[in-house]
Structure 1
Amino acid sequence: MQPSDATAVTVNILDKEFRVVCPEDERDALLKSAHYLDRQMREIRDRGKVIGLDRIAVMAALNIAHELLDLKGQKSDYTDTMQSRIQILQNKIEDALNKGRQIEL
């Protein structure tokens, strides 16, 4: 990455400003991520059960990590299911082709 390809972006999380340098083409994703994190942290703070910025940040990180791992698990289950279905279809196609060859003989 060239220095000219990077840009400093200011994000606000729980009313605090953070400057983050990122590639220009990742700017929108960074802003969306910061907005999501801010929303998660505000929800935790507003529930009033967790006090302190550090603890709120850790709880938000744990919640987001849980969401990520859950989505990865869903993707893995979906991939396994699709691979199984593809294998079944391939077997059916091979069976049909083999039956067609036997008739030709």
Structure 2
Amino acid sequence: MNATRQLDIVIMGREFRVACPADEEETLKQAVALLEAKMLEIRGGGKVVGIEKIAIMAALNLAHEYLHVQAGGFDIGAYQRKITAMNSAIDAVLQDQTALF
């Protein structure tokens, strides 16, 4: 039997306590990070004001992306943007590492 744990999470500066099966903790953390990133992206666009509206728009965007992929669609542009962002982050970290040697 898988025990359920209570976890404290933070999304856009607000704390929430959620129940989570112990073996799903890492997946929950990934979901929190994805939601946080999507909400910050929406807030950064400056067109949506208010945490509740931002949360609803983020939920709609994520649901749309999920349904698109589930239906067999594949948004290569979104994945390319994510890969580019990850490469930039890796390059920045590696640049800091070269100073150590």
CA deviation after TM superposition for structure 1 residue 12, in Å:
1.1
Gaps of 5+ in 2: 74-101
Q: Which residue of 1 aligns with 2:19?
A: 21
Runs in 1 of length 4+ with deviation above 3 angstroms? none
Identity of aligned residues (%): 42
Quote the Cα distance in structure 2 between the aligned partners of 1:66 and 1:13.
Answer: 21
Q: How many residues align?
A: 73
Gaps of 5+ in 1: 76-105
Structure with a larger share of its residues in helix: 1
Q: Which residue of 1 aligns with 2:45?
A: 47
Q: What amino acid maps onto 1:8 in structure 2?
A: Q
TM-score scaled by length of structure 1: 0.65
Instruction: Classify the secondary structure of the residue corresponding to 1:35.
Output: helix
- CA RMSD, 1 decimal: 1.4
Q: Which residue of 1 aligns with 2:87?
A: none
Larger radius of gyration: 1
Q: Which residue of 1 aligns with 2:64?
A: 66
